[in-house]
Amino acid sequence: MAKVNIALDAELVVEVMVLAGVGNPQDAVELVVRDYIQRGHRTEALVVPREDDPRAARVKPQDQE
């Protein structure tokens, strides 16, 4: 996988390290980014309707009289 170097505010990185419980700044930021991506995928799975979902309510249009 390709690597990218970025510069972040030291206070931000220290806070991420404390919240993640990780002593290495790079590992802490990587954990946060991976968690963010996983949450996005879980949200997409909950929000995006699936066409083959048998539980989805099928609403049929009513005939106009």
Q: Where are the chain's structural domains?
A: 11-47
Report the phi/psi class of residue 22: left, alpha or beta, with left for phi > 0 and alpha for psi in -120 to 50: beta
**Residue 46 tokens, joined:** 């909950």
| DSSP summary character for residue 56 | S
pTM assigned to the model: 0.57
pLDDT in tens, 17-27: 999 999 999 99
What are φ and ψ of residue 20, in 5° steps?
-85, -15
**Residues in the chain with pLDDT values less than 50:** none
